[in-house]
A and B are shown apart, each in its own frame.
Chain A
Amino acid sequence: MAETSTIQENAKPDITDANTYKHQARIIEIKKFFKDPITIVAIAGIIFFLLLFTIYPLIILLKDAFVRRYGGVDQTTTYQFSYIFSTLNYQVSIKNSLIIGLVVALGATLVGFLFAYVDVYLKVKGGFMRALFKIVSLLPLVSPPFVISIAIIVLFGNSGLITNRWWGISMNQGLYGYPGVMVVEIITFFPTAYLMLKGLLKNIDPSLEEAARDMGASRWHVFWTVTMPLMKPGLANAFLVSFIESMADFANPMIIGGSMETMSTQIYNTLMGGNGINANYQAAAMSLILLAISMAFFFIQKYVFERKSYATISGKATRARIQIDDKSVVIPLEIFCSFISICVIGLYVVVIMVSFWQNMDTSDIVYTIANWKEATTGTGLDSLKATLLTSLIAAPLCALMSMIIAYLIVKRKFVGRGFIEFTSMLAMAIPGTVLGLGFIRGFVKGVFHTGWMQGLYGTIWIIIIVFIVRSLPVGVRSGVAALRQIDKSIEESSYDMGANSAHVFRTVTLPLIKDSFFSSLSTSFVRSITAISAVILLCTSNIKLMTYVINEFAGKGAYGIASAYATILILVAGVTIGIFDFLTGLLGKGRKIKGAKKDNG
């Protein structure tokens, strides 16, 4: 920690007076830093956490990827990589992942942008459209894996309700593989793009576009020459995020991919196929390749486009936008978005319906409540408890940690800040399967096989930690965004009056980032209860999560029970979001009323 004195190396040589002043200011800052043990402990704790639970599992995989057991001895070699790149099976799955990723990212960004544009720019009538948009943007985010795939198979599969029973197509084999996976992933990921782009569109100052209109440009011309250039970095951002999500998706290709494999499914299958020790090393090598691709896109997203979007769209729009009410624009777009929305909602209705089916025989549907009975008793009840327990512990810890990290990144300067910022966001680029593999390989015999922390594996805590690591990027991002809007002077005045950092954080910063705290609380809760790829390897006979059970049943073709479980999860997630929304609203009001009273008094 002694190197702290050289933090601001980039201070340019200036006039001597200014230099001395800056130097003194720096010394004061450093002194303040060391007088503040709470901050130091927090920083050390967070760095420790990130090293152990994000970097270390990756190091283990890195180590495994360069091993081959030959003649009964482990050799250090690049053999696994040359094997992967020379085996057609692996080449094809890399190609599949990339093609699906690109198409899905393109589709999700496009659909997401249309939704965002309609939402922000068009004058849409009535609460119906608003409600549709709200539901459609939320549903895929709160729904567990498999759900959309199951619904699509039931409707359009070889014995699909629509394709087989209504249209009389005896086999619809074209669905399995690229088309199925692409459609399902676009439906799953476009809401994320929509929410990202909606925020950006809202921040565009309408004056820019109106000025162009006033000078006689057509609406189309304004769209292409003003709106689009402003949105370009945002669109690129949404594209890259969707691409990373698609690359990491494990559940959907598993169920609707037919005999097609993507990198995520192949890692799982190689590892779980019982193909001997070298298969483990192959899986590790494959994980590294997947990680490298995801990280490359993550870097581009973070260091090229995220910066740009901050630079172009700064602050908030100065006033409300005059929304477009031209019928020739509004009606087609409205129809398009409503159609997609209704289709998506329809898929969820199908899932609820299937949860009451005795089996998947669409020619002879028998209704039953047996699935619900099974999902709410015995294993069902146990798994619900395990899911709730782990997620309820993980969510507040994750939200709190996100806020502390965001606070440190934005408000403090210290050695290792770059590391914390980078590593806490890194989890976004680590596919769940890869992280899960790193955890099981890394902790089962303790850290570096020393036995230290061995007790962690097989407890609920390892699952809780994975949940936290997986949700941290979302929380930190929202915390950083919220904190950047708060002026530093508010906190400084509190420090000047003698408060320590914990006190300042609790009484000044926290109330100001409350909304962001609650939103990351509910996001991490929902992400945790619906997580599958990262934790499937970590479930044990004591701890069976609901998503694990859904995976078991869906894999067996018992879609009825899987759907009942999925419906319960969606309900839990929906109710939770509702409660948090309500709480946030309540607290927000409370603050306003208090403020008003003070003003009056």
Chain B
Amino acid sequence: MRKSVKLLATILAITAVSGMTSCGKTSDSSTGDNLEKELNVIGGCEEPYLKAVCEAFATKYSVKVNYIRLSAGEMESKVEGEDGNPTSDVLFGGTTDPYNYLKNLNLLEKYKSVNDGNITDSKFKDVDNYWYGIYKGILGFMWNKAKLTELGLTAPTSWADLLSDKYHSAANKGYITWSHPSTAGTAKLTVNTIVQLKANGKKVTYDNEGTQTTAYDDTEGMKYFKSLDTNIAEYTKSGSGASKKVGSGECVIGVGFLHDAIYQMVDQKYGNKIGIGAPSEGTAFEVGATGILKGAKNPNLAKKFVDFALTPECVELGATNGSYQFLVLDEKTGVKQPQAAIDAGLTSVKTMDYDFDDAKTNTSHYVTDWMTAVNKAAPTA
């Protein structure tokens, strides 16, 4: 056995040495003004929307476009794991959290699009031009009408309402499906929303992996989540988990993005079996973004893609492909908001003044506190 260990060490050494010698050989593809022939996209939006956008771009520029859909967290982990040697060129869709995180790690490429002027509200683009917004999704409630009737319940109308005793069974099994803050961007947004609403502007400092950082005081927020826990049936891994289960009645009441629920109603044909609403205290919204990866193999085409993503021609593909988020392009571009979202009454939803900057730095702090406060890893059984 000792011999084999020795052998192992020798071979490891050889491997390492031959690795060294070939180090630095990686060639830098020359970048001219010519467009590349192929583009690789990571999408954080729903697959049909992503597919339609990629196909439209491919046709427009007569190039080949490959795409893969990942959740926001997966997207972030993948790009971070690839650490500057990306297999893809450009990101499309998904919340801005991963974009801000990747920007800080210096993994996004700065690019000021020729269509920069199409977005006028500064909330919807990065101040340093690392990403641009394409849509906004509104957080709210959804429920299965038949199950509510079956259980003799009424739909929730406010964040406070969710804590009501009626939303759990006699055996203390909750009826509300929400997503898990450690995995779902949607849940992270909800945590931030509640913390901000409950803190009333009160701030505290904490030790953020070695740096003293200021954040909202989340004591009241965590009390809320601890209490909400009694009414929770399941914390799904993905943010759209509740919407996918609400149509069939697997889930009675869900917290998530309302456009996800509309998708189920329209495209999955659940129609009026699902009801939706927004909390009366005001709700938050996500911004879906697009940006170029640092080290992209097809940088010129990637830039064209971002230009394309900031036109009505591109973003309106959402509504025809099952993604009913509100579009963030300026009205002067003539962009049409999705009719299904207007029909569902989303135009009148009250939104809060969400503190995006706080969310950028302190989300993981709140999530850690949530994990300690709730500790909902135990099986529901």
Contact = CB atoms under 8 A, between A and B. Distances in A.
B245 interface: yes
Given A273-B73, A274-B97, A540-B40, A174 B381 contact: yes
B173 A171 contact: yes
Given A173-B233, A258-B380, A557 B19 contact: no
B51 interface: yes
Contacts of B25: 451
A48 B16 CA distance: 12
Given A419-B4, A458-B87, A278 B209 contact: yes
Interface in A82-118: 87-90, 92-93, 96
B234 to A, nearest CB: 5
Contact of B237 (A158, A269, A275, A278): A269
A450 interface: yes
B21 to A, nearest CB: 8
Given A274-B76, A359-B248, A447-B19, A170 B378 contact: no
A259 B232 CA distance: 9
Contacts of B11: 47-48, 51
B364 A276 contact: yes
A470 interface: no
Nearest to A180: B381
A379 B46 CA distance: 14
A451 B77 contact: no
Contacts of A179: 381
Contacts of A47: 7-8, 11
B127 interface: no
Nearest to A269: B183
Interface in B1-35: 1, 3-4, 6-8, 11-12, 15-16, 18-20, 22-26
Contacts of A70: 209-210
Nearest to A257: B379
A89 B371 contact: yes
A575 interface: no
A127 interface: no
A362 B248 contact: yes
B15 A52 contact: yes
Given A47-B7, A51-B12, A379 B51 contact: yes
B198 interface: no
Nearest to B242: A557
A444 B87 CA distance: 9
Nearest to B66: A541
Contacts of A249: none
Contact of B248 (A258, A360, A379, A542): A360
B68 A539 contact: yes
A272 interface: yes
B136 interface: no
A30 to B, nearest CB: 14
A283 B94 CA distance: 23
B66 A542 contact: yes
A275 B364 contact: yes
Interface residues of B, number: 92
B234 A259 contact: yes
Interface in A345-394: 358-363, 366, 378-379
B290 to A, nearest CB: 15
A295 B328 CA distance: 52
Contacts of A55: 8
Contact of A556 (B4, B101, B240): B240
A418 B381 contact: no
A164 B150 CA distance: 12
B358 interface: no
Contacts of B8: 47, 51, 55, 419
B244 A540 contact: no
A332 interface: no
Interface in A452-466: 452-454, 457-458
A132 interface: no
A71 interface: yes
Interface in B46-87: 47, 51, 66-69, 71-78, 80-85, 87
A451 B248 contact: no
A360 B246 CA distance: 10
Contacts of A378: 51
B250 A274 contact: no
Nearest to A87: B371
Given A89-B377, A419-B8, A557-B245, A457 B15 contact: no
A271 interface: yes
B250 A157 contact: yes
A448 interface: yes
A230 interface: no
B238 A254 contact: no
Interface stretch (B108-116, B118-126, B268-276): B268-276
B22 A452 contact: yes
B42 to A, nearest CB: 7
A260 B237 CA distance: 11
B282 interface: no
A179 B88 CA distance: 41
B82 A444 contact: yes
Interface string A177-218: 111000000000000000000000000000000000000000
Interface of B: 1, 3-4, 6-8, 11-12, 15-16, 18-20, 22-26, 40-42, 47, 51, 66-69, 71-78, 80-85, 87-88, 97-98, 101, 146-147, 150-151, 169, 173, 175, 180, 182-185, 209-211, 232-235, 237-238, 240-241, 243-245, 247-252, 268-270, 273, 364, 367, 371, 375-381
24 contacts: A47-B11, A48-B15, A55-B8, A71-B211, A72-B211, A87-B371, A89-B377, A92-B377, A159-B250, A176-B234, A258-B233, A259-B235, A274-B76, A275-B367, A278-B209, A416-B7, A419-B7, A441-B81, A446-B23, A454-B26, A542-B87, A555-B238, A556-B240, A557-B248
Query: Closest 3 interchain pairs by CB?
Result: A71-B210, A557-B244, A452-B19
Interface of A: 3, 6, 47-48, 51-52, 55, 69-73, 87-90, 92-93, 96, 153, 157-159, 164, 170-171, 173-174, 176-179, 254, 257-261, 265, 269-278, 280, 358-363, 366, 378-379, 415-419, 440-441, 444-448, 450-454, 457-458, 537, 539-542, 544, 552, 555-558
